[in-house]
Amino acid sequence: MEIIILSIDTFAITVFLLQTAHSVEELSTGFHRKWYLFKMPFWAFLLFEIVFEVFWGSVVFLNQFPLREYLLPFFFALMFANGVQHIVWAGIAKRYIPGLITAPFHIILFLIIYYTLIF
């Protein structure tokens, strides 16, 4: 029986791909019009998502990115918090909110990462 050891890089790529799917869900379901803090034009939300994806993609895929060893755990925690926030928001609204389909996967993946890398 072979034991597969997953690395932080494997998790980082997985979280990044999940976040990309999450962003597509938000963009395609009108998150920019429904966010509870403030509404924004689609172009502004799209620009934010592009900058966000480029930054975190750089952290994930460039091994020499400055402070990468601190940024990756922060990214994992940030995506966990994002998933929780979407689920809480949906619970309060008692309806689907943009990003809800992919949000639980952020939580599940974070717990897998936590228990795999910590224990």
Angle at 108 between CA 21 and CA 98, to 5 degrees: 40
Q: Decide which of 4 and 45 is more confident.
A: 45
CA dist 76 and 70 (Å) reads 10
Instruction: Report the pLDDT value the prediction gives residue 5, as an integer from 0 to 100.
Output: 56
DSSP string covering 11-64, please?
HHHHHHHHHHHHHHHHHHTTHHHH-SS----HHHHHHHHHHHHHHHHHHHH-TT
Examine the pLDDT at 107 and tell me if it is beyond 50.
yes
Residues 2-43 have pLDDT tens digits of: 445 568 899 999 999 999 999 999 999 999 988 878 889 999
User: What is the per-residue pLDDT for 38?
Assistant: 85
Q: How high is the pLDDT of residue 16? A: 98
What is the mean pLDDT of the segment spanning 45-70? 97
